[in-house]
Amino acid sequence: MPSARRLDALLDQLRDRGVRVTAARRAVLAELLDAGHDHIGVEELAARVRRRTPTIHLSTVYRTVDALRESGILRAARLGDQPVAYHLAGDAHHHAVCRSCGATVEFPDTDLDDLRDRLADRHGFAADPEHLTVSGRCRRCVGRGVDSPGTAPGHHR
């Protein structure tokens, strides 16, 4: 599906929900479509939006992503201690972030099926995480023996 078409589809989705379609929302969605699979923070998103429409205010972008998220069009992901980043809902996935080097790995939502079952069986809890960030150590850092648990303390920033 061409990107302009996808944009229209998303905008229709908004209208169907009774959420208004405005220049800011169009612009934000266009940028996110453009960004493909990348996750973008609000500040960066505002910068990109302003390249084409300089009048759009940062606080509007905050409100916009919030509205789009509530409509289920966007997902919010907080990786490590970085600011929240957004991406189109599309394929549900989550992240594993290396505590030593910050590298990230994506994994599909289906990897949570077992956990989901357990929570449902045991607590009747319907897990439906918008986004999950699992910390640990990536292959490279495990191999290097970097900062294994139980080692002398050190800062991780």
Rule CB under 7 A: is residue 58 a binding residue for DNA?
yes
Q: Is the dihedral of CA 7, 8, 10, 15 positive or negative?
A: positive
Of the ranges 3-11, 34-42, 55-63, 93-101, which one interacts with a second copy (CB under 8 A)?
93-101
One symbol per residue from 64 to 83: x for binding a second copy (CB under 8 A), - otherwise; what is it? ------xxx-----------
Rule CB under 7 A: is residue 22 a binding residue for DNA?
yes
Q: Which positions ≥6 away from 92 have C-beta within 8 Å? A: 75, 108, 109
**Residue closer to a second copy (CB basis): 2 or 81:** 81
Binding residues for DNA restricted to 78-97, rule: CB under 7 A: 81-84
Taking CB under 8 A as the criterion, the residue among 21, 122, 144, 145 binding a second copy is 122
Closest separation between CB of residue 111 and DNA, Å? 25
The DSSP element (H or E) to which 28 belongs, if any, is: helix 23-34
Binding residues for a second copy restricted to 18-47, rule: CB under 8 A: 18-19
Q: What is the DSSP string of 29-82?
A: HHHHHHTTT--EEHHHHHHHHHHH-TT--HHHHHHHHHHHHHTTSEEEE--TTS
Contact between 32 and 74 (Cβ < 8 Å): yes
Maximal C-alpha separation, the chain: 56
* Residue 59 binding result from DNA, a second copy, none, given CB thresholds of 5 to 8 Å by partner type: DNA
**Residue closer to DNA (CB basis): 43 or 117:** 43
Contact between 14 and 73 (Cβ < 8 Å): yes
Binding site for DNA (CB under 7 A): 15, 19-25, 41-43, 55-60, 62-64, 66-67, 81-84
